[in-house]
Homo-oligomer: A and B are copies of this chain.
Amino acid sequence: MRKAKIVILGAGYGGLMTATRLQKAVGVNEAEIVLVNKNSYHYETTWLHEASAGTLHHDRVRYEIKNVIDTNKVNFIQDTAVEIKTEEKKVILENGEIDFDYLVVALGGESETFGIKGLKEYAYSIVNVNSARQIKEHIEFQFATYNTEEEKKDERLTIVVGGAGFTGIEFLGELGNRIPELCKEYDVDPQKVKVICVEAAPMVLPGFDPELVNYAVSHLEKKGVEFRIGTAIKEATPEGIIVGKGEDEVEEIKAGTVVWAAGIRGNAIIEKSGFEAMRGRVKVQLDLRAPGHDNVFIIGDSSLMINEEINRPYPPTAQIAMQQGETCARNLAALVRNKTELETFKPDIKGTVCSLGEDDAIGVAFGKKMVGAKASFMKKMVDNRALYMIGGPSLVMKKGKFNIL
């Protein structure tokens, strides 16, 4: 009998967790495992705001995939998935194609710009290592240019962050630490720097405890962040953004840097490959398979699951993607062994911590609210835990966060 061939697309939190669990769960005689990823490395999506601000080097947020997989059991291919042909059971790659018996789509999400004009062209998004270091370099270039011009353009030193969700707030927290450094490095008067957070929704960090949100806003305001809540970005331009003001008016905010951190949608491959989706996310079955496809699992940012308690989708988080990876690996092992009963996925939200910079944070963990140094410590433990889950203690030692007060 031919071995089942399992192909995992993507080595983010979900895909890499699937691969590392699967390599333990099935024997080499039971299945052939192939992991396909665009880069040779995995990166910590949840740390990218730090690389973007320049508070953490981008090499600290990534590690080589070969260092965490068992290369005797998992065949790693560095390539980019272009389209999934479900009928033909194969995936078109940029440099070839690969067939499968079982497929795991764990390709991560993409920035959702909601059709706002100019955002794709003129705003930066915190989406991967490449874009993170580009944001860092762009901001540094703006600061470096400021003093070279005879007529000083203060707007060079204005940074607009679009979105007061998780990524936006965490990025603002890092900027709070980074901007004093930038001012020193480039001989810039800190009074000239403006950081403006523009959010269309009427609140910051929707879904978070209001007391914690107040703590975060007040902390960031003290660090110089100006919040423009309930303000929609109408357009991004080479000079900055246009926002709505009142019913019909608009206002221009000039800014050398615009970072869009307001939305995520599923991977473009989902719709391209004919899956039924909402904003690129497939409402998966409880066993994580795509409806109508017994051999295709979709996990992470391209999957959609409803939290019945509040009748809203679960947010696209690393925590859930990793838990999905564990379930997905067990279900694949079951399928390979011709078991028909698959496990039902149920997220186990242990807590949520939102960083506010180097030594502050807000969060809820094990049902308890926390702020300040305690929450910041918890955040670093959450970050280290993600490393531990995928690469064990040695990866934590290598890439972990130990700058603990």
Contact = CB atoms under 8 A, between A and B. Distances in A.
A130 B152 CA distance: 13
Interface of A: 130-131, 133-134, 136-138, 140-141, 143-145, 147-148, 186-187
Contacts of A138: 141, 144
18 contacts: A130-B144, A130-B147, A130-B148, A130-B187, A131-B148, A133-B144, A133-B186, A134-B144, A134-B145, A134-B148, A136-B144, A137-B137, A137-B141, A137-B143, A137-B145, A138-B141, A138-B144, A141-B141
A142 to B, nearest CB: 9
Contacts of A133: 144, 186
A138 B140 CA distance: 9
Contacts of A137: 137, 140-141, 143-145
A383 to B, nearest CB: 23
A134 B186 CA distance: 9
A111 to B, nearest CB: 12
A130 B131 CA distance: 26
Contacts of A136: 144
State the 10 A-B residue pairs at the shortest beta-carbon distance, nearest first.
A137-B144, A137-B141, A130-B147, A134-B144, A130-B148, A141-B141, A133-B144, A137-B140, A134-B148, A134-B145
Nearest to A133: B144
A140 B54 CA distance: 13
Nearest to A39: B187
A186 B136 CA distance: 12
Contacts of A147: 130
A196 to B, nearest CB: 22
A134 B141 contact: yes
Contacts of A131: 148
A137 B54 CA distance: 13
Given A134-B148, A137-B141, 5 more contacts: A130-B144, A130-B148, A130-B187, A133-B186, A137-B140
Nearest to A186: B133
A278 B176 CA distance: 50
A145 B186 CA distance: 21
Contacts of A134: 141, 144-145, 148
Nearest to A140: B137
A134 B145 CA distance: 6
Nearest to A125: B148
Contacts of A186: 133
Nearest to A147: B130
Contacts of A141: 134, 137-138, 140-141
Nearest to A62: B187
